[in-house]
Amino acid sequence: MATGFRFDLKATDGKARTGVIETPRGEIRTPAFMPVGTAATVKAMLPESVRATGADILLGNTYHLMLRPTAERIDRLGGLHKFMNWDRPILTDSGGFQVMSLAGLRKLTEKGVTFKSHVDGSKHEITPERSMEIQRLLGSDIVMCFDECTPFPATEAQALESMRLSMRWAQRSRDAFGDRPGHALFGIQQGSVFRDQREESAEALQKIGFDGYAVGGLAVGEGQDMMFDVLEYAPDMLPVDKPRYLMGVGKPDDIVGAVKRGIDMMDCVLPSRSGRTGQVFTRRGVLNIKNARHQDDPRPLDEECGCPACRNYSRAYFHHTFRAKEIIQSMLLTWHNLHYYQDLMQGMRDAISAGTFAAWEADFHAKRAEGDIEPL
Ligand SMILES: [Zn+2]
C-alpha cells in the first residue's frame, strides 16, 4: 500500500464492514458516502457545510475538470484542494465513465479514447497515462484507474473484450502512476453481470496490486435486483484488507444493500441533485416538496434530523421557496439530503460496530415502509 495511506478494518457484521482509511489529509470512516463535487464544487454548498454534514471525502470529476478550467490551470493555482477550499481527502474518477455518457464523437482504441468536449466541441484524448497525469495535476488523494465502463446490457463476448481492455489499461495506469507517497491508486473490477469475468478481472487486478478496489460497471441501468446479484459475489473476490468502492451508487436502499454485501465506499449525485429538484430523502422515504400537501405544514422535513433545514424551517417554507424558485431552497434541501445520507452511514457504522446490523437494517426498511407522516 502507498505510504501514508492505510485501511484499518475495525469490525465486521455478516459481510458488512466498518473501518477507517487513514490518509495524510485525514481519516475516512467507512462505510463512507462521498458527495460529488463535479466542477470543483458540491453544488449549492459551501465546503464547510459539506463537512458539517459529516462527509470525510469528496469526489471530483476528471472529465469535467480537464475541460474546464483544465487540470493544468488548477495545478498552477495550487491544486484542487486549495482551488475549491476543501483540505480533506478527494477521490477523482478517471474520466472514462463521463466520456462515455457526455462527450460527442467518441473513438475507442487500444491506446485510449478520443472525443469532442460537450462544452465547446474541442477535441481531446484520454489514455491511461493522460488520466494519471490529470489526476496528479489535480492533486487527488485517491486516483482511479482509467477503464472502460462496460455498457449495459452487453453480450458475454462484448463484456469480456471490454473487461480485458480495462485490465490492460489498469496495468498501464499502475505503471504511469508510479510511486507517489500519500496518494492511493484504486483498480476497477469489470465483467458486467458475468461471474467468471468478475473473477478473472479481480485476479488480474490483484496481480498488478492496488491500494483499493472498485466494483465497476454497475449502476448503469441493470436495476437493483441484478446489481445486488453481482454484489453477492463480486466484493468477495477482492482483498479483505483493502477498501472496496462501488462507483455511482446510489439511492438509500441501494447503499444499505451494498454495505450489507461488503462495500466500503460509495458516491452519487442523487442527494445533491435531488436537493435542487425538490426531492427530499427522509427516514420515512422520499417526499416531493412541490406537493400541495406541504403548503400549510409547519413541521420539519424529518423530525429526527438535526440539520439546519430541519431545525429552523418548515415544510411550508420549502414548498413556498421551491415555488418561488428561491436559491435558499436548493441550498437547504441539498444540505438536508447530504446530512441524511451521512446520518445513514453513521447509523450503519455504529450498527456494524455493535454487531446489530440486521436489526438496524430491518428498522431502516420498516420506517420507510410506513411512508411519510400523515398530512395535517
Ligand atoms: Zn434535515
3-state class of 282 per DSSP?
strand
> Quick check: 251 and 270 in contact, CB under 8 A?
yes
Does the pLDDT of residue 1 top 70, yes or no? no
Q: Is 97 annotated as a binding residue?
A: yes
3-state helix, strand, coil in the chain (%, to 5): 45, 20, 35
Report long-range pairs for 318-327 (Cβ below 8 Å, ≥24 apart): 318/278, 318/280, 318/289, 318/294, 319/289, 319/290, 319/291, 319/292, 319/294, 319/295, 320/295, 322/278, 322/289, 322/290, 323/290, 327/44
Q: Is 95 annotated as a binding residue?
A: yes
CA distance linking residue 184 with residue 174, whole number of Å:
11
Q: Which has more pLDDT, 202 or 103? A: 202
Instruction: Kindly report the CATH number assigned to the domain that includes residue 73.
Output: 3.20.20.105
Per-residue pLDDT of 213-265, as tens digits, reads 999 999 999 999 999 999 999 999 999 999 999 999 999 999 999 999 999 99
What residues sit around ligand 1, an ion, with C-beta below 5 angstroms?
305, 307, 309-310, 336
| 248, 269, 290 - which closes a domain | 269
Same domain, 260 and 306: no
Which pLDDT score, from 0 to 100, does residue 96 have? Answer: 87
Same domain, 15 and 117: yes
Cα(251) to ligand 1 centroid in Å equals 17
Cα(215) to ligand 1 centroid in Å equals 31
Q: Is 145 annotated as a binding residue?
A: no
- Work out the mean pLDDT of the chain and round it to a whole number: 96
Would you give the end-to-end CA distance of the chain in angstroms? Answer: 56
What mean pLDDT comes out for the span 150-162?
A: 95
What mean pLDDT comes out for the span 121-133?
A: 96
369 found inside a domain: no
Burial (0-12, 13-18, 19+ Cβ within 10 Å), 270: buried
Neighbours of 229 (CB within 10 A): 14
Per-residue pLDDT of 275-307, as tens digits, reads 999 999 999 999 999 999 999 999 999 999 999
CA distance linking residue 107 with residue 151, whole number of Å:
15
pTM over 0.95: yes
Which pLDDT score, from 0 to 100, does residue 103 have? Answer: 79
Cα(186) to ligand 1 centroid in Å equals 33
Cell readout for 376 is 395535517
Cα(77) to ligand 1 centroid in Å equals 35
**Displacement of CA 71 from its chain's centroid (Å):** 21
Residues identified as active-site: 93, 267
Same domain, 94 and 14: yes
Same domain, 96 and 176: yes
Cell readout for 64 is 469535467
| 269, 300, 325 - which closes a domain | 269
Same domain, 265 and 279: no
Per-residue pLDDT of 310-343, as tens digits, reads 999 999 999 999 999 999 999 999 999 999 999 9
Cα(232) to ligand 1 centroid in Å equals 32
What mean pLDDT comes out for the span 13-32?
A: 98
Q: Is 152 annotated as a binding residue?
A: no
Same domain, 24 and 146: yes
Q: Which is it for strands 244-246 and 265-268: parallel, antiparallel or unpaired?
A: parallel
Q: Is 305 annotated as a binding residue?
A: yes
The one-letter amino acid code at 198 reads R
Beta-strand (E) ranges in the chain? 6-13, 16-23, 26-30, 32-35, 58-60, 90-92, 104-108, 113-116, 123-126, 142-144, 184-189, 212-215, 244-246, 265-268, 279-282, 285-288
Q: Which has more pLDDT, 111 or 3? A: 111
Q: Domain total for the chain?
A: 2
Q: Is 217 annotated as a binding residue?
A: yes
Instruction: Give the number of C-alpha atoms closer than 13 A to the C-alpha of residue 136, restricted to the C-beta side.
Output: 14
Cα(339) to ligand 1 centroid in Å equals 6
376 found inside a domain: no
Q: Which is it for strands 6-13 and 16-23: parallel, antiparallel or unpaired?
A: antiparallel
Q: What is the extent of the structural domain holding 349?
A: 275-363
